[in-house]
A and B are shown apart, each in its own frame.
Chain A
Amino acid sequence: MENTSKRIGQIGEEIASHVITRQGKMKIIERNYRSRLGEIDIIARDQNTLVFIEVKTRAVLNAGFPEESVTEYKQNKIRKVALYYLINHGYNPNNVNYRFDVVSITFIGEDGTRPNIKYFKNAF
């Protein structure tokens, strides 16, 4: 079971990276950034703005929409990791532009294989 949800998450991140780079405006810098404070799914650059992206994938909707699971606690955690990333990668957090996006992916269709993607720019 745990393996399945992990797989779904990976597939979701794969889809999200496609969506992000497809328009050609954003470039992915790092995927699955891990630090002692936590993880960030995708870090990208949109011109002069750094974008920290959280990808949420759900195969079944009985637990609510994926974007609803990015709670305030989770948001604060991502903010902390982002700050940690900025400091450790040579940015000055006070004069760099950054934002937080959320990508929510659910699977629809009769056999549940068609991904439904929602992109929340500046989600929090």
Chain B
Amino acid sequence: MLEKELWEKGFKYIGGVDEVGRGPLAGPLVSCCVIFPPGYVPLGITDSKLLSPSRRSYYFRLISETALSLGVSIVGEKMIDCLGVQAANIYSFREALLRASVKGAPDFVIFDWLKIPGLDIPSIATSHAESKSYTVAAASIVAKVVRDSLMENQYQEFYPEYGFIHNKGYGTKLHRDKINQIGIANCHRRSFCGKYLEKNRTNW
């Protein structure tokens, strides 16, 4: 695990940053940054995609109780349309890190895949960081739980037609069929739905 090597190098407070929701047709991009107390090894935490929703919410509670600091950033679909996912992702990573930052912590940051320019703390970005680092795995769990809960509650309530409770905004068959039938709504990322834009403009 990456944390062990970093502790040996003398870093104490390691921040892990991960995002959820780069791909879906609707809904926000959620990033999270987690900092654990030095030397703390959470048991059983792995990539959020490998865990069932009930396991995820169990770990979500565990993480929020044990973490030294937590930061979550939610970037809406309008901003993604305006700037593109990449810039929106950089923005939300920075925002999450800023919100998790406390005095002196983190002193090292692990990003999942995407490197953030212009940071004054040392950092690395590796692909599949969720499986290499507990901290990033924990961040991915928190981000996933936050985003899923947003989609299942608020988005489902405002836009019940699209079945967000099942698809969380991702482009499943049901979701795409619904868009074909009734068109896209305000919650959809225009820049992702180019194919559906001509159809049914009345809905937005």
Question: CA of A84 to CA of B84 in the docked complex: distance in angstroms?
Answer: 9
Query: Is A22's beta carbon under 8 Å from chain B?
Result: no
Instruction: Select which of A83, A89, A92 is within 8 A of B83 by beta carbon.
Output: A83
Write out, one digit per residue, whether chain B residues 43-83 have a CB within 8 A of any chain A CB (1) or not (0): 00000000000000000000000000000000000000011
A87 touches B91 (CB 8 A): yes
Closest to B98 in A: A92
A89 touches B117 (CB 8 A): yes
Q: How many inter-chain contacts with C-beta < 8 Å in the A-B complex?
A: 30
Query: Is A90's beta carbon under 8 Å from chain B?
Result: yes
Q: How far is the CB of A26 from chain B (nearest CB, A)?
A: 21
B90 touches A88 (CB 8 A): yes
Within 8 A of A (CB), among B91-125: 91, 94-95, 98, 116-119
Closest to B117 in A: A90
Query: Is B87's beta carbon under 8 Å from chain A?
Result: yes
A89 touches B91 (CB 8 A): no
Please indicate the chain B residues that have their CB under 8 angstroms from the CB of A83 in the complex: 82-83
Q: How far is the CB of B94 from chain A (nearest CB, A)?
A: 6
A36 touches B82 (CB 8 A): no
Q: How far is the CB of B64 from chain A (nearest CB, A)?
A: 25
Query: Is A6's beta carbon under 8 Å from chain B?
Result: no
Please indicate the chain A residues that have their CB under 8 angstroms from the CB of B118 in the complex: 89-91
Size class of B's contact patch?
A: 10 to 19
B117 touches A36 (CB 8 A): no
Q: How far is the CB of A4 from chain B (nearest CB, A)?
A: 34
Within 8 A of B (CB), among A70-95: 80, 83-84, 87-94
Q: How far is the CB of A73 from chain B (nearest CB, A)?
A: 14
Query: A92-B94, A92-B98, A93-B91 are contacts. A87–B83 as well, Cβ < 8 Å?
Result: yes
Q: How far is the CB of B17 from chain A (nearest CB, A)?
A: 15
Question: CA of A89 to CA of B98 in the docked complex: distance in angstroms?
Answer: 17
Query: Is A37's beta carbon under 8 Å from chain B?
Result: yes
Please indicate the chain A residues that have their CB under 8 angstroms from the CB of B83 in the complex: 37, 80, 83-84, 87
Closest to A85 in B: B87
Please indicate the chain B residues that have their CB under 8 angstroms from the CB of A37 in the complex: 83-84
Please indicate the chain B residues that have their CB under 8 angstroms from the CB of A91 in the complex: 118
Please indicate the chain B residues that have their CB under 8 angstroms from the CB of A90 in the complex: 116-119
Return 11 A-B CB contacts under 8 Å, by A number: A80-B82, A80-B83, A83-B83, A87-B94, A88-B90, A89-B117, A90-B119, A91-B118, A92-B94, A92-B95, A92-B98
Given A84-B84, A89-B117, A92-B95, 19 more pairs with CB closer than 8 A = A36-B84, A37-B84, A80-B82, A83-B82, A83-B83, A84-B87, A87-B83, A87-B91, A87-B94, A88-B87, A88-B90, A88-B117, A89-B118, A90-B116, A90-B117, A90-B119, A92-B98, A93-B91, A94-B95
